[in-house]
Structure 1
Amino acid sequence: MGRDPPIVLSSDSEEGEPVEVEDVKGKVKEVEEDFKEPPKWLPDGWIMEVQRGEDGSFYQYYISPVSGVKLRMKAEVLSYLFSGMDDRFLESKKCAARNTLHSTHLWLPKGWFIEIRAGGENMDKMFKFYIYPPMEIRLFSKEDVLLYVKEMVVSACDTEGQCDTSSQDNILALVEFNPSVLLPEGWVKEIVYRKTKEGIRKDPYFTDPVNHYVFRTLKAAMTYLSTGKITNRSFIQKTSVHDLYNFDKCADLNEFLRKRLTNKTGNNDQTSDRFEDGESSTDFGSPKDHQESMNKSKKIKEKEPNSDKIIKRSRKKSSRGAKAKQIN
């Protein structure tokens, strides 16, 4: 019997011309050899990763062991090192360990939120609940949450009739710890609920645990981490989110929180109750500075193509890199 013909794959570069499987494997092996070891200039602890895109092209990345940020060029890595972003990630982790609100909720499973509602006979109290949105679960205590996680038992959310949980009319905020893989440990995302003429408005806030700066978008928070610059519309809370919700089950309602239930102005930027001076925002930079910082952030977080990982190599981690790798 004759030898079976070789299996062939169509070539992207030359349409219609067959390429033997052995040739494709040879090219992949050649690339693996080229990227067998990270370049000597790459700092200790950094990871080199090579991926193959859908078009067959190979893409090389350099990954920080502290923040997990991916960069493609040597110049970007060097610029990143001088930006001080890793230092801000490590400082956030240290502050998170000292922060009472964060440290007392380390037990809260991933994917769970804290829900704050107004209640009481005169709507002068605020109640804390723990919710798991995928299963529409709402529980009233740490013990109830752990019981559900262990035995799938849903406990009654008993507030003795002091807090209505049947609508969104009395929700004040949803709080999430470590809301994004892009943010270091200790950051808090707060979704603030307000009543307006158009209905219930939901505004996100991202709080830095170090200096308590508050950012209106994830992009603004990433700009701060990557450049150290405070963007426009960022501010410092009069009462930090870390202090505001650090209570067990029930507490007295702060007066400025009550405004969220009665504000009917419909203002598109209702943040007056959040600022340091209680009246106006604090401008930390000019529009030009803001645009420059955004451009730098965009360069650092360049969008990567859809790809399949084929090679992953890591340098021996330094003591600092190994500890930083523990960051979520």
Structure 2
Amino acid sequence: MGKSPSVGVLHEDDCDEVKFFEKPRKNLQSDDENVDGRPGWLPDGWIMEVYCDDDGTIYRYYICPLSGTTFTTKSEVLDYLFSEMDQCFLESKNHAVGSNLTRTHEWLPKGWLVEIRAGGDNMDKMYKFYVYPPNRVRLFSKDDVLIYIKEMKISGFDTDGQCNTNTQENILAILEFNPEGLPQGWVKEVVFRKTNTGKIRRDRHYTDPIKNYVFHTKRSAALYVETGKVTIRAFVQKTSVHEMYSFEKFTHLHESLWKRLELGGTNQLRTRLSKLRKLSLKEEILSDEQGSTSAEDCNSDNSDTAHGAGQNKVSHLASTTVKRPRGRPPKQGNARK
């Protein structure tokens, strides 16, 4: 039979001894710090959250007040501080104030988007609208938006028939300011393009307000914010969104946007160009045929003249040609006999 575990009864005098051994165990679990106490190495303004699991395990989370990034260890916090990423957030926040596009749209409530459309008699202008997708509201000016927010009244607008808002054919871009998950000042731009098959393609661009880097995904933009690493597909536009869309109501279409419209009319344009090219090619062929015909006639006349002159020259040569007998000439001795 196996030995049964021994059971002992503690007297009241032994309780102090048990408590004495529990104290250092608590200190070891809290890494020589109080469970709820704030560590001295944590910068001012940072948030520390402490959670205790059912098994007694203590979890600490350190949150940056600027970026909202959460860390779980002291080394992660110090690495983040030494990488000066907080400075990047401060620059981004300060630059947002100086950015024309962001500053001029600070009044726009959360959830509203800016819609850019092409218009004009020759599609040489671009129009700006303010859109609230949940209620399918589209307004034409800042005053109209403020009236709608205050009175829930939709103001009518008139573009004199210069811009059609009942189709997606002329949408150039949709802008969202300060997208979720990125610092203040960032702009999300959904670029509308038409493919060769006539379908609409939407490309998402996330623009950094400091260096105007453009990223294709929010994940790559967030990676740049956290680490400063620029992905391979990132690029810098010659004309940033802050410069291109800083206008009210309408303005002349920017030259860099013409390509989006050219793709829109690809099928019609190709048909038209095909007809023109065929007509031009036909005219060119006819012109070549006429030229070749006249050249042949001229060559024919010249050849006849040359042929006649050649015959005369041959006949003249024939009249002056001396015929020689074939074979060996006779010997002189035999000739004397």
Mark yes or no: TM-score above 0.5. Answer: yes
Displacement of 1:119 in angstroms is 0.7
Counterpart of 1:262 in structure 2: which amino acid?
A: E
SS of equivalent residue, structure 2 residue 115: strand
1:191 aligned residue: 190
For 2:186 and 2:205, how far apart are their aligned partners in 1?
10
Displacement of 1:54 in angstroms is 11
User: In the alignment, is residue 262 of structure 1 matched against residue 262 of structure 2?
Assistant: yes
Larger Rg belongs to: 2
* Structure with greater contact order relative to length (CA < 8 Å, sep ≥ 6): 1
Post-superposition Cα deviations, 1:116-170, rounded to whole Å, max 9, x if no partner, equal 0001111111000000111111100000000000010011132121111112111
Report sequence identity in percent: 57
TM-score (norm 1): 0.67
1:102 aligned residue: 102
Which has the larger helix fraction?
Answer: 2
Displacement of 1:58 in angstroms is 6.0
Change (3 A) 1:73 1:244: same
1:115 aligned residue: 115
Given that 1:93 and 1:186 are in contact with CA atoms closer than 8 Å, whether structure 2 keeps it comes out as yes
Displacement of 1:71 in angstroms is 1.4
Change (3 A) 1:142 1:48: same
Change (3 A) 1:264 1:156: closer
2:216 aligned residue: 216
For 1:173 and 1:56, how far apart are their aligned partners in 2?
54
Which has the larger strand fraction?
Answer: 1
Tell me how many residue pairs correspond in the alignment: 235
Counterpart of 2:232 in structure 1: which amino acid?
A: N
Matches within 5 A, 1:282-293: none
Counterpart of 2:200 in structure 1: which amino acid?
A: I
Displacement of 1:265 in angstroms is 12
Given that 2:36 and 2:50 are in contact with CA atoms closer than 8 Å, whether structure 1 keeps it comes out as no
Displacement of 1:173 in angstroms is 0.4
Unaligned residue ranges in structure 1 (runs of 5+) = 1-29, 267-328
SS of equivalent residue, structure 2 residue 258: helix
Change (3 A) 1:55 1:217: farther
SS of equivalent residue, structure 1 residue 263: helix
SS of equivalent residue, structure 1 residue 121: coil
Counterpart of 1:121 in structure 2: which amino acid?
A: D
Unaligned residue ranges in structure 2 (runs of 5+) = 1-28, 267-337
Change (3 A) 1:34 1:134: farther
For 1:57 and 1:153, how far apart are their aligned partners in 2?
56
For 2:118 and 2:160, how far apart are their aligned partners in 1?
14
Matches within 5 A, 1:1-328: 35-51=35-51, 59-180=59-180, 182-197=181-196, 199-263=199-263
Change (3 A) 1:195 1:48: same
Given that 1:83 and 1:228 are in contact with CA atoms closer than 8 Å, whether structure 2 keeps it comes out as no
TM-score (norm 2): 0.65
For 1:186 and 1:74, how far apart are their aligned partners in 2?
30
Displacement of 1:94 in angstroms is 1.4
Change (3 A) 1:56 1:112: farther
Displacement of 1:81 in angstroms is 1.1
